[in-house]
Amino acid sequence: MAEGSPDENQDRKKKGLEKDISKYLKHDKDAKDTKQNSDRNPSKKGNPSILPPPSRKISSRFPSQKRGNKAKMRKATPEPRGEGENYKSILPPPPTTDNEQFPDRRKERKYESGGRGGRRKPSRPSGRGNFVAAHSGDRKFIPKREKTFRASPESKEQEKEGDKESLLPPKEDAAGLTSWDDFFSTNLQSISGNSNTKFNKENKEDTGKGGLSTNQDYFEKSLDQQVEKINGLPSTSYLFGNNRNITSASKTSKEARKSEIKGGVSASSLDGVLPVSELFYRSTQSMSAEGDGGNDSNDESGRISRNQQDDYTIGEEETDDEELPFSAEQSNRILSKNNKIMMRRNKATRPSGDGPIKDEAQYKTDIAKFRSAALSPPPRTNNQNAGKKNRRKRGATNQGRSQQRGDGQGRGRKMVRRGMEMLVGGEPINADPPLRLVELNYCLRTPDSLTDGLLLLKDDDADDDTLDLVNDSPVDWASVVTTNSRDFGPLLHQSSVEKVSDTSRQLYCEHFVNSSIKWKVCPKDLKDIVKEFEIEKASSKSPQTYADLIEKVSSVKFDDPQSIEMRFEERPTDVQAETKGFGKESRKGRRRSSGSVDFNAQRSASDSDNMNRAARRSNSKLESFTLGGELKFSLGVTRAELESGHDGGSHGHILRRVLGKGIANAIKAESLGFQVVIAKMLLSEVDGGSTEFHVEFNMIPEDDMKFGEVEWAAKLINSALAQAMDDGDMALAMGAAAKTETAWPAKVRNRVVEEFLFDAEGADDDPLSDDDDEEDSSDEEAIDDEDDFEALREDEDLPLSNSQKQQNEEEFEDEDLPKKQQNEEEFDGPFGMPGDTLYAKDDIYLGGGNGGVFPDYSENSKWMAPFSGELGPLLLDAVTQRAMEKQPRVIAIGDVHGCIDELQALLRRCDYRPGDLIVFLGDLVSKGPDSLAVVQMARELGAMGVRGNHDFEVIRWHQAIKSGMKYKGSFSHTFHSGRRLMNFISFSTKQVPILL
């Protein structure tokens, strides 16, 4: 019921608003003129009876709102008659065509004035009267106007209702309605949601001023009821939040209010009171006025629609502004000249998913979907790739720009920039940081700090005063510099530092050393430790610690123990990771499972880890290696069928061939110079006629490759494999391979193909139910294929040092992690949105938190650390020792602007080391040679910083990009979607004429 009407209303409003805004901007002069005009007009008509006496009183309450009304009045005046008629038309259900403008104006006026008139709108009789009253109120300030007001055509109805109580529900009131509720119950049905929200502002304002609050009861009650009646409208509580209290208070004062009304509040008493809303709206107006010329039409409409269409929007904005560090209000007060531009918090950011917000989100979704469907945007990857290219050669910015434009189009949301503000699809982008201020605690080496008990000073060398304490507690270099922010890791979070165990600190040191070596800023002593370690590792001949691992490797893997493999495994972990006894990498394997077909592929880091070490240990003899992978899936075909062909004597050769081909195609192994060979294949029948596959395959380089190359290839293969499993390419490739397999009988072939493809399409949510059975199934049959297995002999020794290997390995893992591990958690929208979880459960002070900003220091993830925790103790000792000699410091660094070389040089000169905190003074990016590296380095070193204007810009772009396209939801009609869709359609036609 309500849906239809609001839409129409909004449409009207929009139109009206557009016109009105232009008026808005006109000077007061005009307004005065209009006043005069208006005065004349009413007098001409000469309806003395029309005069609405109550209007005066109302006006007196809201003195501040004059201005807005003035401008509008002007237009209204020429057609006084029409306006009155329009009022009737205002009622939600029947939208009038031409008259719409007027209602819009009114609404706007109300909006500006605080929207009191707006509420009344919904109810016909009362609405008119009220509206008029509001009108008059504005004018009332100027004594002359009162007359004019009375003369206005609208007043006719008011007459009926009674002069003094124009605000009150007209007839009923006279009849002696006991409560407003009664009144509302009768009248409110027709109220559109939009008008209500506008009141919030006024309410807030009013609360301060007792006299002004008279209308609140009315409004609020009406709101509640409206909300109840109208679906999809924001709940009152949502809209009003803080104001609620006020309401109740005001209710008590009903009687007083009435008396006031009757008695009439003198306008003069309220003079000089300027409601905050007045400031606020002026600022917005100025904004819209300043909008870019080029985009005017769209901008304006967008803005307007925002203001007027969504009641809740308005209310929200207000509340948000109050919370915001720099609300428009604030800026206006502080620096009216410079701060015409206001930033608002992104509405969608609001944590509570109340009705209206959902609508908004859905709307976004809808739009995005709609447009994407209509425009078929270019795949995003292209853009990104292009972006990378562009970055490489900085000259190509033009290309970048055009691309960006195209991008925006593809997403179907228009990006508009207005000074500081960026709007996407009419929504302001919120790029505010999670913390406005970060407090930096620095533990000075003074007795005071000790007695404070905040942080124990632990880094004294020879300080007599604190000697005792130092003796008591171990030196804690990490807690010298801390912050109140958890975003930068446990060691920078004041209340977490103490909880960080030694092991974690060791790991931190490893990470630090690793990345600082990578960025060439490692302090020399630490570097030396690493060197020693590497040398020792490389030359160590008795790696007892690895004995068991090696055993495992050889036992599990290969039939030919002589050949030594370096294996990078594609191994299905999922539930079965236990085979390696590394339960901790609980990444979920990607699942391609549809009924009968399951694909599982997961690289098991632990495994490759083991392998690596094994290889490392036996470096001297190690001359050959292959890359191995594993694949597990099930197919709804019986084993007998699969092994058929060649009169049943194939023993799986055919199948093996098919699988090999499929895998090779899926990961494009040939282009990488590898040959895929199925080394081992386990088939186990599962009840229901399907078969579990456990395939191990080897990738054999076609040419000799150096170790480094192979490692590099392994990375590629891994990602390709993951990708293939993800996209279903694997299944498709398998299907294709099976299709071309001539040795199979047609029937079987088709069946197999069907199964494969079925998997690709229907891959859905079915969890792997069979996994557990797999291990137990007794009728496994191993088919070993020795013929195909060849180990590659390689001539050269492996020159890589251990650390390098480990490093590589780590990177290698890193590549995969985001794809596999973060599947569940990954939130790809703009930051600060619901769903954007900052911390996983136990990330609070350890590990992998804040979207990867800092690495995982927890003991469990030791294996992921650069040196697997082996080097940690040494490093930690060195760090601690050093901290005792020299107190950790804070290093503030000026604008870097992507100058990575200079930054590294500077850090070396500063003798940067763990425990020191780098604080960047903003502007890390842009202009310079390598912005990305700077940011990455800063993050990996655990630096902090403040935001510069360029950083802010980048963040905002990110938010804009993200909020532009990725919204997951379903298309549905919300009460305003109709209008907006129309907007977008026209918009799209404009920009992409080809479509039409």
Partner 1 sequence: MIGSEHYQIASTLSKADLRWMYSLPWYISSKELDALFVHAGFVSGIRLGKQNPRLMMNMRSILPDGTVTSKFFNNWPWARLWDGPQTVLFGHDADRGLQQYEHAIGLDTGCVYGGRLTACILPEKRLVSVNAKREYFQYRRKHFD
Chain positions 842 to 871 lying near partner 1, rule: CB under 8 A, are 850-853
DSSP H or E segment with residue 15: helix 4-25
Q: What is the DSSP-derived secondary structure letter of residue 305?
A: I
**How far lies 653's CA from each of 646, 659, 661, 717, in Å?**
10, 10, 12, 24
Q: For residue 82, which of 30, 140, 121, 41 has the smallest C-alpha distance? A: 41
Among 122, 922, 975, 983, binds partner 1 (CB under 8 A): 922
Residue from 946, 981, 985, 992 binding partner 1 (CB under 8 A): 946
Contacting partner 1 (CB under 8 A), which of 577, 748, 798, 925?
A: 925
CA atoms within 13 A on the CB side of 51: 14
C-beta closer to partner 1: residue 315 or 964: 964
Distance of alpha carbon 103 from alpha carbon 86, whole angstroms:
7
Are 950 and 957 contacting, i.e. CB atoms less than 8 angstroms apart? no
Q: What phi and psi, each to the nearest 5 degrees, are found at residue 829?
A: -85, -170
Could you tell me the smallest distance in angstroms from the CB atom of residue 910 to partner 1?
5
User: Smaller CB distance to partner 1: residue 337 or 541?
Assistant: 337
Q: Residue from 928, 967, 980, 987 that binds partner 1 (CB under 8 A)?
A: 928
Minimum CB distance to partner 1 smaller for 250 or for 516: 516
The CB-side HSE value for 800 (13 A sphere, CA atoms) comes to: 20
Residue 136, both tokens: 């008059």
Is residue 29 exposed (0-12), middle (13-18) or buried (19+ Cβ within 10 Å)?
A: exposed
Our CB check for partner 1 shows the closer of 419 and 708 to be: 419
Q: Which is nearer to partner 1, 358 or 908 (CB)?
A: 908
Restricted to residues 871-900, the positions that interact with partner 1 (CB under 8 A) are 887, 889-899
Q: Strand runs (DSSP E) across 811-896, as ranges?
A: 890-893
Report the nearest approach of partner 1 to the CB of residue 807 (Å).
18
If we measure between CA atoms, which residue out of 969, 944, 638 comes closest to residue 834? 969
Among left, alpha and beta (phi > 0; psi -120 to 50; other), residue 852 is left
**Binding status of residue 949 toward partner 1 by CB under 8 A:** yes
Site string for partner 1, 428-457 (x = CB under 8 A): ---xxxxxxxxxxxxxx----x--------
- The answer to whether 365 and 970 have CB atoms below 8 angstroms apart is yes
CB of 723 to partner 1, least distance (A): 18
Among 276, 615, 642, 955, binds partner 1 (CB under 8 A): 955
Taking the complex as a whole, how short is the minimal distance between the CB of residue 907 and partner 1, in angstroms? 8
Cα separation of 812 and 673, whole Å? 19
Q: Which stretch binds partner 1 (CB under 8 A): 194-202, 365-373, 632-640, 927-935?
A: 927-935
Compare residues 368 and 924 and give the one whose CB is closer to partner 1. 924
Measured from the CB of residue 344, what is the shortest distance to partner 1 in angstroms?
Answer: 13
Residue number, 492 or 792, with CB nearest to partner 1: 492
Nearer to partner 1, 227 or 896 (CB): 896
Place of tokens 């531009």: 341
Where helices occur in 917-970 by DSSP H, the ranges are 931-940, 949-965
**705 sits near partner 1 (criterion: CB under 8 A):** no
Binding mask 461-500 for partner 1 (x = CB under 8 A): ----------------------x-x-xx------------
CB of 868 to partner 1, least distance (A): 22
Q: Which residues contact 325 (CB under 8 A, 6 or more apart)?
A: 432, 436
Give the C-alpha distances (Å, rounded to integers) separating 696 from 629, 632, 691, 783: 6, 9, 16, 11
Residue of the chain from 71, 699, 924, 965 that contacts partner 1 (CB under 8 A): 924
Residue 488: CB minimum distance to partner 1, A: 7
Q: For the purposes of burial, counting CB atoms within 10 Å of the CB of 801, is it exposed (0-12), middle (13-18) or buried (19 or more)? A: middle
**Minimum distance from CB of 958 to partner 1 (Å)?**
4
In the stretch 37-76, what mask flags binding to partner 1 with x, by CB under 8 A?
Answer: ----------------------------------------
| Minimum distance, C-beta of residue 927 to partner 1, in the bound complex (Å) | 4
User: Residue 686 phi/psi, 5° resolution?
Assistant: -110, 150
| Residue 963 engages partner 1 in binding (rule: CB under 8 A) | no
Site residues (CB under 8 A) for partner 1, limited to 784-843: 818, 831-832
Minimum distance from CB of 921 to partner 1 (Å)? 4
The SS3 call for residue 792 is coil
Under rule CB under 8 A, which residues in 539-598 are in contact with partner 1? none
**Positions in 138-197 near partner 1 (CB under 8 A):** none
| C-beta of 441 vs 554, nearer to partner 1 | 441
Binds partner 1 by CB under 8 A, chosen from 648, 765, 909, 993: 909
The Cβ-side half-sphere exposure at 614, using a 13 Å CA radius, reads 24
Q: How far is the CB of 899 from partner 1 (least distance, A)?
A: 5
Question: What span, in angstroms and rounded, lies between the C-alpha atoms of 726 and 588?
Answer: 13
Residues in contact with 443: Cβ distance below 8 Å, sequence separation at least 6, in sequence order: 449, 454, 455, 457, 459, 479, 480, 481, 482
Count residues binding partner 1 (CB under 8 A): 101
Cβ neighbours for 768, distance < 8 A, ≥ 6 positions apart:
574, 575, 589, 591, 593, 598, 600
Which residues 330-389 are close enough to bind partner 1 by CB under 8 A? 330-331, 334-335, 337-339, 341, 343, 383-384, 387-388
* Whole-angstrom distance, CA of residue 560 vs CA of residue 582: 25
Q: How far is the CB of 909 from partner 1 (least distance, A)?
A: 6
Residue 325 or 799 having the CB closest to partner 1:
325
* Sole window of 261-269, 302-310, 778-786, 947-955 interacting with partner 1 (rule: CB under 8 A): 947-955
Whose structure tokens read 């890193």? 814
Out of 76, 456, 760, 938, the only residue in the binding site for partner 1 (CB under 8 A) is 938
DSSP annotation of 394: G
- Residues 389 to 418: which contact partner 1 by CB under 8 A? 390-391, 394, 397-398, 400-401, 404
- Segment interacting with partner 1 (CB under 8 A) among 66-74, 540-548, 764-772, 953-961: 953-961
- Show Cβ contacts of residue 707 under 8 Å, excluding neighbours closer than 6 positions: 566, 625, 794, 796, 798, 799, 800
